[in-house]
Amino acid sequence: MQCTRLVVRRDGAVAYVTLARPSVRNAFDATMIAELTTTFDELGRDAELRAVVLAGEGSVFCGGADLNAMRASLDLDEEANREDARAMSRMFRTIDRTPKAVVARVHGAALGGGAGIVAVCDIAITASDTRFGFTETKLGILPAVISPFVLAKIGASHARALALTGERFDAARALHVGLVHEVVASEPDLDAAVARVVHELGSASPTAIAATKALFARVAATAYDDTLELTARAIAAQRTSAEGQDGLRAFLEKRSPAWVRG
Ligand code: COA
């Protein structure tokens, strides 16, 4: 799609999606929400794609929901507010369920919904001076739309401590709570760290990546007693698939599977 709030670049099997509203610290308004939803939906259906890298233009990754647009919400009734929130929720859900590995390159700050975006990425890499925060309570609102993703990513203990205070926290704490997975010394080091992860993903089976994400989501929503059959079916389907067969044979025959890139 033609985007006004995003820059989408394709380099082989990797898509680079950059939030591009640096003058408002990449805050997302209704237009950016629609563009992110459509873009991730399209990328998810692209069979040639292995990974998506999500980054921010300018001095920060993302300052969260657009507070100027929210000013307009002061005049909206409750149902109109619900409709806004549903659109935002669909954006987070679409990124969360993208059947590709999604890597976040997080610099400067990730606040409110910006921290929510980090939570829906599979792998998040940040620089040591990045500031994070679930700041909504400081604004008199709630981290509502992002709550399923934040709870799933960092657990209730850390989510409650951080969301109730609304405090800003540093990269070391983001790593400690599991919101990010790697901290590099400074922003210029992020590209090499992202490239290393993208390279690693190039030797993982694309259908296994998609099936793993789908399975983890289903297991999280399934009663323990029902996971035996669910997981047995998932592994049986993958073992009998083309990539499952090629991967196991390739290991035994000491060769690379056909899907390996780079
Ligand atoms: N929505 C709308 N505009 C935002 C914004 C947001 N979430 N975050 C930043 N901006 C705007 C500022 O209003 C400012 O606009 P102006 O130039 O017209 O005054 C511009 O972006 C630059 O912001 P500034 O605070 O001067 O930049 P900074 O680099 O010093 O700090 C942040 C960047 C992100 C740390 C800071 O802007 C911030 O704390 N933003 C609010 C984050 C937040 O609590 N979000 C939760 C939303 S639910």
Domain limits of the chain? 6-202, 206-261
Domain 6-202 has CATH 3.20.20.140: no
Ligand 1, atom nearest to 67 Cα? 1
Ligand 1, atom nearest to 59 Cα? 29
Q: Name the residue type at position 156.
A: A
Take atom 39 of ligand 1 and give the residue whose Cα is closest.
63
Among 5, 19, 24, 25, say which to mutate for ligand 1: greatest number of ligand atoms within 8 Å of CB: 25
**What is the rounded CA–CA span in Å between residue 237 and residue 222?**
19
Q: Per-residue confidence of the chain (262 residues) as pLDDT tens digits? A: 789 999 999 999 999 999 999 999 999 999 999 999 999 999 999 999 999 999 999 999 999 999 998 888 888 888 988 999 999 999 999 999 999 999 999 999 999 999 999 999 999 999 999 999 999 999 999 999 999 999 999 999 999 999 999 999 999 999 999 999 999 999 999 999 999 999 999 999 999 999 999 999 999 999 999 999 999 999 999 999 999 999 999 999 999 999 997 6
Rounded to the nearest angstrom, the distance between the alpha carbon of 195 and the centre of ligand 1 is 29
* Termini Cα distance of the chain: 28
**What is the rounded CA–CA span in Å between residue 184 and residue 177?**
17
The CATH number corresponding to 206-261 among 1.10.12.10, 2.30.30.100, 3.10.129.10, 3.30.70.3280 equals: 1.10.12.10
**Cβ atoms of residues 3 and 43 within 8 Å:** no
Q: Name the residue type at position 18.
A: T
Which pTM does this prediction carry?
A: 0.97
Q: Name the residue type at position 257.
A: P
Any residues with CB less than 8 A from the CB of 81 and at least 6 apart, and which?
Answer: 73
pLDDT on residue 1: 79
Take atom 16 of ligand 1 and give the residue whose Cα is closest.
24
- Beta-strand (E) ranges in 12-117? 14-19, 51-56, 101-106, 109-111
Pocket of ligand 1 (CB under 6 A): 24-25, 27, 59-60, 63-68, 109, 111-113, 135-136
